Amino acid sequence: MPAPADSIYCQYIGLCRPCKEESGSLLYLTCPDNWPTHPPLYKYRAECYNVVMSEFITISRESAGEIEEKKSRFIAALVPCTSEDEAVTFIESVRKKNRDARHNCYAYVIGEKGETVKCSDDGEPQKTAGQPILSVIQGAGLTNVCLVVTRYFGGTLLGTGGLVRAYSDSAKAAVDNAKRVKKIPGILLSISTEYSDMGTIQYILNSENITIRGTEYTDGVVFTTEVESGKYEQLSKKLIDATGARVKLGKMKDILIGMEI
């Protein structure tokens, strides 16, 4: 049963929203038979179509950095996150961990194109903390990250310029220590073949630097792997030609492939 014309869902799981057009094409979804009459607040699991993934850069794991300025300590913590809820949860965890700190200033950027952005000075003079932290994140070209800088006051006022430098330098220290990852649109792919072609397929995948994520042995062999979207057609042709078209390829779902840079 197709969704009503006045409703749409723009992520994989979440709240229904009014239908809208993006990049010239509407997003459609499948929904349960008991679709409600008024769906805007009905939460459900949806299968979205025509969602185009974009390449972006993020980090693979949490990193930290710290500086001291006139006895004030500035402790930066940078984490990957894929939603605003995750960012808020992390900020609250840092606050609880550092209850005695004077300030926990932060910034986060969420979304493949950095669509969601927020920063906070947390009591510091306006634009001396949150905005400098945000500028470091954006200057590094990162998204899907949250960065919190905790300040333990050392007794000496730093002034506007001193605060901007301290928050910027501590944020930069955490960014410099991070393992960056480029997320590239890809396909989770199943490759079904006969046992006689197993070695040939493994050789081709290895020569293309494609890692086999799983192998199932039944009447034949089924490999599960990840391939960049832009390389799928070339790989498909190679596998079909090498096996005399005995191989069967199945696109399981669109994914994002992480590559450390």
CA–CA dist 37, 100 (Å, integer): 51
Together in a domain, 174 and 140: yes
Task: Choose one of 178, 206, 226: the last residue of a domain.
Answer: 178
C-alpha torsion sign, points 141, 142, 146, 148: negative
91 C-beta neighbours (distance < 10 Å), count:
23
Q: Is residue 88 part of a domain?
A: yes
Together in a domain, 65 and 143: yes
Task: Choose one of 178, 212, 247: the last residue of a domain.
Answer: 178
pLDDT one-digit tens code per residue, 77-131: 999 999 999 999 999 999 999 999 999 999 999 999 999 999 999 999 999 999 9
pTM value > 0.75: no
Mention every residue, 6+ apart, whose C-beta is less than 8 A from residue 41.
15, 16
Together in a domain, 29 and 99: no
pLDDT value, residue 23: 32
Together in a domain, 40 and 112: no
Q: β-pairing, 47-48 with 72-80?
A: unpaired
Q: Is residue 102 part of a domain?
A: yes
Together in a domain, 67 and 152: yes
Which of 37, 20, 40, 28 is CA-nearest to residue 3? 28
pLDDT value, residue 31: 37
Whichever domain contains 86, its CATH number is 3.30.230.30
pLDDT value, residue 79: 98
Location of structure tokens 């393992």: 179
Q: Is residue 6 part of a domain?
A: no
Query: Which residue type does 73 have?
Result: R
Whichever domain contains 210, its CATH number is 3.30.70.240
Together in a domain, 162 and 91: yes
pLDDT value, residue 29: 36
- Three-state DSSP string of the chain: CECCCCCECCCCEEECECCCEECCEECCEECCCCCCCCCCCCEEECEECCCCCCCEEEECCCEEEEEEECCEEEEEEEEECCCHHHHHHHHHHHHHHCCCCCEEEEEEEECCCCCEEEEECCCCCCCCCHHHHHHHHHHCCCCCEEEEEEEECCCCCCHHHHHHHHHHHHHHHHHHCCCEEEEEEEEEEEEEECHHHHHHHHHHHHHCCCCEEEEEECCCEEEEEEEEHHHHHHHHHHHHHHCCCCCEEEEEEEEEEEEEC
Together in a domain, 93 and 116: yes
Together in a domain, 139 and 166: yes
Question: What is the number of structural domains in the chain?
Answer: 3
pLDDT value, residue 17: 35
247 C-beta neighbours (distance < 10 Å), count:
22
The size of the chain, in residues, is 261
Together in a domain, 34 and 74: no
Cβ–Cβ < 8 Å for 189, 249: yes
Q: Is residue 5 part of a domain?
A: no
CA–CA dist 198, 242 (Å, integer): 11
135 is in which domain, residue-wise? 57-178
Q: Is residue 139 part of a domain?
A: yes
Q: Is residue 90 part of a domain?
A: yes
Together in a domain, 95 and 130: yes
Q: Is residue 7 part of a domain?
A: no
Together in a domain, 224 and 239: yes
Together in a domain, 85 and 189: no
pLDDT value, residue 22: 34
Task: Choose one of 178, 196, 221: the last residue of a domain.
Answer: 178
pLDDT value, residue 165: 97
Note down pLDDT in tens along the chain; length 261 residues. 333 333 333 333 333 333 333 333 333 333 333 333 333 332 323 333 344 678 999 999 999 999 999 999 999 999 999 999 999 999 999 999 999 999 999 999 999 999 999 999 999 999 999 999 999 999 999 999 999 999 999 999 999 999 999 999 999 999 999 999 999 999 999 999 999 999 999 999 999 999 999 999 999 999 999 999 999 999 999 999 999 999 999 999 999 988 888
Q: Is residue 44 part of a domain?
A: yes
